Amino acid sequence: MNRISAFLAVVLSIGSSFAPAQTSWPSKPVRIVVPQAAGNATDIIARLTTEKLTQNTGQQFVIENRPGAANMIGATSVARSSPDGYTFLFGTAAVFTTNLYTMKNLTYDPVKDFEMVALIARGVFMVVANPSLPANTLPEVIALAKKQPGKLNIATDQPRNFTGIIAQWINKSTGANMTPVPYINMPQGVQDVINNRVEMSILALPAAGPQLEAGKLKPIAVSSAQPIPGYENVRPIADVIPGFDFFGWFNFAAPAGTPKDIITKFNAETGKVLDDPAYQKRISDMGFYSFGSHPVSKADEFLQKELVAWKKVVDTLGIEPQ
């Protein structure tokens, strides 16, 4: 080696010793905020997903439940967190769409305060009835409701929540004139339908499934645009109301300003989980369906589409934020 070559080798060696260390994400535990209580569907799906992320990356993904104020406490805490790639929100459709239109004093902006990372799972709703109801399909229910205006009752959650809005939309679109009966405690609503104190209800599939299998309730229609696995004979509401396609969903989101390379890496890691057949089976057994792997851009496009759709529904129904 001549003097010039030796000199260059020394310079490069010294330079490399001062080069910034390249770190890979995640290099420490990742905090996942769930804005609902432990043990409910959102929390369970979050834990199943983070369990696989922990296994695949070798780094802990730690759930932190921060329920309250219609998801606002948890969502706001993430919106105000450092965008360092180690705090994320496991959000719901309510966090990113319906809250924007139904809550007057929202403490976060679902678009400006977050970066979408990945869509995780979706869950449909089902119109169900007491087995004694003399109607087995949505067209038959509508005909019965029109024959007896105001006498057919349907148990829902609050008017500004998903099932309350679905009931209003069916009434508005078909002239069915069913009477929504709002429940703060939906399990009580389910029992009232089983005991025939209320004729019908609208339930998320995980809540409806066990009662359907036991024969305590019967299916009338599903809220997705297409029939769903396991209930292929149950027709969609869209058969009666063209374009009707309502479902709940879960996603990962990051505080605005989180580095794009971390968001891309997290999206890729979730894709591995979502494409795992064992994971897909676990969540489908609960009544949820994986979105499958997809780029961040698809999650962004999906959110924009949902915001437009829910704005139309809320405006059509005349729902004012409270």
Residue 261 and residue 85: Cα distance in Å, rounded? 10
Question: Residue 23's pLDDT is what?
Answer: 57
| Domains in the chain with CATH codes | 30-122+247-317 (3.40.190.150), 124-239 (3.40.190.10)
Q: Is 221 exposed, middle or buried (0-12, 13-18, 19+ CB in 10 A)?
A: buried
End-to-end Cα spacing for the chain: 78
Q: Residue 322: pLDDT band by 50, 70, 90 thresholds?
A: confident
If you compute the radius of gyration of the chain from its CA atoms, what whole number of angstroms results? 24
- What percent of the chain lies above the pLDDT cut of 90? 80
Predicted confidence (pLDDT) at residue 38 exceeds the cutoff of 90: yes
List pLDDT tens digits, range 44-66.
Answer: 999 999 999 999 999 999 999 99
Residue 93 and residue 104: Cα distance in Å, rounded? 17
Roughly what angle, to the nearest 10 degrees, separates helices 277-284 and 260-274? Answer: 80
Average pLDDT over all residues of the chain: 91
Residue 278 and residue 287: Cα distance in Å, rounded? 15
The residue among 240, 93, 250 whose CA lies nearest residue 169 is 240
Q: Is 243 exposed, middle or buried (0-12, 13-18, 19+ CB in 10 A)?
A: exposed
Predicted confidence (pLDDT) at residue 294 exceeds the cutoff of 80: yes
Q: Count the Cβ atoms, other than its own, within 10 Å of residue 120.
A: 23
Predicted confidence (pLDDT) at residue 160 exceeds the cutoff of 80: yes
- Taking the whole predicted model, whether its pTM rises above 0.75 is answered as yes
Angle at 158 between CA 187 and CA 88, to 5 degrees: 85
List pLDDT tens digits, range 70-85.
Answer: 899 999 999 999 999 9
Buried b (16+ CB within 10 A) or exposed e, 264-297: ebbbebbbebbeeeebbebbeebbbbbbebbebe
Predicted confidence (pLDDT) at residue 284 exceeds the cutoff of 50: yes
Beta bridge partners of 180: 154
More confident residue, 40 or 238: 238
Average pLDDT over residues 131-150: 95
